[in-house]
Amino acid sequence: MSARFVNLAILTLLVLELASGVGGVLVGQQGGQWMFWLHRIGGWGLACLLCWKWGIVVRSYRRHGLTPGTVFSALVKVLFLVSLGSGLLWATTGLPRLSVPLLGSWTGLSLHVAVSLALAPLLALHAAMRWQRPRRVDLASRRAALRSLGLLAAGFVLWRVQETTAAAARLCGAERRFTGSREEGSFQGNAHPVTNWLSDPVLRLDPAGWRLRVSGLVERELVLSYGEVLALADGLRQALLDCTGGWYTVQRWSGVPVVALLERADVREGARSLIVRSATGYSRRFPLSRAGELLLATRVEREPLSSERGSPLRLVAPGYRGYH
Ligand code: HEM
Ligand SMILES: Nc1nc2c(c(=O)[nH]1)N[C@H]1C(S)=C(S)[C@@H](COP(=O)(O)O)O[C@H]1N2
Ligand SMILES: [Mo]
């Protein structure tokens, strides 16, 4: 394969990986599963291309030696290898949690995402500096088409071999959800992992002074005390919480269905979405049509919520990714 074709194929697959990685995490619902399939096929395709790229890299260093340009490309390559390697290890053997100074405990998957996102701007710069105009034979020839198809087929086969091997060897990679997450602490109430991101603090709120406010396009604004909220509580919901940090947990939550509050407040004609805002200011928007799925929970597995879980009240949004 020509160096130009290999470089172009790597660049194309990396763009595909970035798009399918971000897309998969944003969609996060069963219907968006194909994005993760693309991500896996593309990842294994890249692993194949590495064999050819290796030769190109060695020849390039022999020719140019160490210059600021080659040092920069070396940095891009290291990040690329860490990104690809962490992805493949995550999907097979799993990776231990890592303690990062100032940032707390990171899962291997969070590391994968962070390194991959850091790679994106460097990759763009690297590609611009080393740009070789693709020739017709690289893009539109029969050979190019066959090679591209062959590459995707190889990526697909390697992915399937990986999943089958992981299952046969009982690697923990076989226990991933379609999002890549593994189960932790299901039905153990407050004991499941806590994820606070964007440095959102844990507040120790006193239920006595706490209020729940419902306002916006409603006939009656509500300001409810904790006691008044408890009086409305009648919902129990089993929900799967799937954090983009690579773990999921199933718990039974109880509290007030959001629709019960909306009915009390009497939502006006024309309202289309619902914003839930926490005491820290963290907020998420939902279409009003999905309000029926949402619960404001006061308990998890019958235990009152701990402060880390959002005591006295937290949103449970089954079917959405954890950051909702
Ligand atoms: C430089 C770009 C990237 C490369 C080369 C890459 C590569 C990989 C590879 C090889 C895997 C293992 C897939 C498997 O064999 O099952 C993986 C998994 C994963 N990647 Fe990436 N990735 C990239 C960027 C991203 C980004 C930007 C995100 C999210 C924002 C992301 C999210 C994920 C997730 C959630 C998994 C777990 C899926 C699973 O366990 O199968 N990746 N990645
Ligand atoms: N206010 C607030 N809510 C939040 C977060 C946060 O940082 N602040 N993290 C979200 C994320 S990323 C996840 S996965 C879940 C985790 O819930 P848990 O900490 O109860 O497991 O809470 C979500 N809700
Ligand atoms: Mo999360």
Residue 136 pLDDT exceeds 80 = no
Can you tell me which atom of ligand 2 is nearest the CA of 280? Answer: 1
Assess if residue 321 is contained within a domain. no
Give the angle subtended at the CA of 109 by the CAs of 239 and 297, to the nearest 5°: 20
Q: Which residues line ligand 1 (CB under 6 A)?
A: 14, 17-18, 21-22, 24-25, 36, 39-40, 43, 46, 83-84, 87-88, 90-91, 109, 112-113, 116-117, 119, 159, 162, 176, 180
Same domain as 173, residue 220 = no
Can you tell me which atom of ligand 1 is nearest the CA of 181? Answer: 40
Q: What is the CATH number of the domain that holds 246?
A: 3.90.420.10
Which residues face 242 on adjacent strands?
Answer: 248, 321
Considering 116, 148, 180, which residue would you say is the last residue of a domain? 180
Residue 263 pLDDT exceeds 80 = yes
Assess if residue 244 is contained within a domain. yes
Check residue 199 and give its pLDDT: 75
Calculate mean pLDDT across residues 233-256: 93
CA of 247 to the centre of ligand 3 (A): 9
Q: Which residues contact 140 (CB under 8 A, 6 or more apart)?
A: none
Q: What is the pLDDT of residues 90-118, one digit of tens each?
A: 999 999 988 888 777 889 999 999 999 99
Same domain as 149, residue 216 = no
Residue 58 pLDDT exceeds 80 = yes
Pairing status of strand 295-300 against strand 247-257: antiparallel
Check residue 201 and give its pLDDT: 87
277: three-class secondary structure by DSSP: strand
Q: What is the pLDDT of residues 149-200, one digit of tens each?
A: 999 999 999 999 999 999 999 998 889 999 999 999 999 999 988 888 777 8
Mutate to test the pocket of ligand 2, among 282, 303, 308 (most ligand atoms within 8 A of CB): 282
Considering 120, 148, 180, which residue would you say is the last residue of a domain? 180
Pairing status of strand 314-316 against strand 303-304: unpaired
Q: Domain residues for 295?
A: 189-316
Q: Which residues surround ligand 3, an ion (CB under 5 A)?
A: 195, 243, 322-323
Token output for 312:
């006295």
Mutate to test the pocket of ligand 1, among 13, 15, 17, 171 (most ligand atoms within 8 A of CB): 17
Q: What is the pLDDT of residues 273-307, one digit of tens each?
A: 999 999 999 999 999 999 999 999 999 999 999 99
* Number of separate domains in the chain: 2
Assess if residue 129 is contained within a domain. yes
Same domain as 243, residue 125 = no
Same domain as 97, residue 233 = no
**Which residue bears the tokens 């009648």?**
234
Same domain as 144, residue 235 = no
Assess if residue 322 is contained within a domain. no
Residue 133 pLDDT exceeds 90 = no
Angle between helix 142-168 and 3-27 (nearest 10): 50
Mutate to test the pocket of ligand 2, among 110, 203, 243 (most ligand atoms within 8 A of CB): 243
Nearest in space to 254 (alpha carbons), one of 240, 241, 229, 237: 237
Pick the range with the lowest mean pLDDT from 55-64, 77-86, 142-151.
55-64
Assess if residue 53 is contained within a domain. yes
CA of 106 to the centre of ligand 1 (A): 16
Considering 180, 211, 237, which residue would you say is the last residue of a domain? 180
Same domain as 202, residue 148 = no
Same domain as 266, residue 128 = no
CA of 230 to the centre of ligand 3 (A): 27
Same domain as 166, residue 38 = yes
Same domain as 153, residue 9 = yes
Same domain as 38, residue 13 = yes
Check residue 248 and give its pLDDT: 95
Check residue 86 and give its pLDDT: 96
Q: Can you give the pTM of this predicted structure?
A: 0.91
Q: What is the DSSP string of 62-87?
A: HHH-S-HHHHHHHHHHHHHHHHHHHH
Q: Output the CA–CA distances (angstroms, integers) from residue 47 to 70, 80, 83, 154, 167, in the order listed.
A: 22, 11, 11, 10, 21
Same domain as 199, residue 129 = no
Token output for 96:
């231990």
Check residue 281 and give its pLDDT: 92
Same domain as 49, residue 176 = yes
Task: Tell me which residue has its CA closest to atom 5 in ligand 1.
Answer: 84
Q: Are 137 and 202 in contact (CB under 8 A)?
A: no
Calculate mean pLDDT across residues 203-213: 94
Q: Ligand 2 pocket, 196 CB below 6 A? A: yes
CA of 309 to the centre of ligand 2 (A): 8
In the structure, what pLDDT confidence band is assigned to residue 28 with cuts at 50, 70 and 90? confident
CA of 322 to the centre of ligand 3 (A): 5
Can you tell me which atom of ligand 2 is nearest the CA of 242? Answer: 14
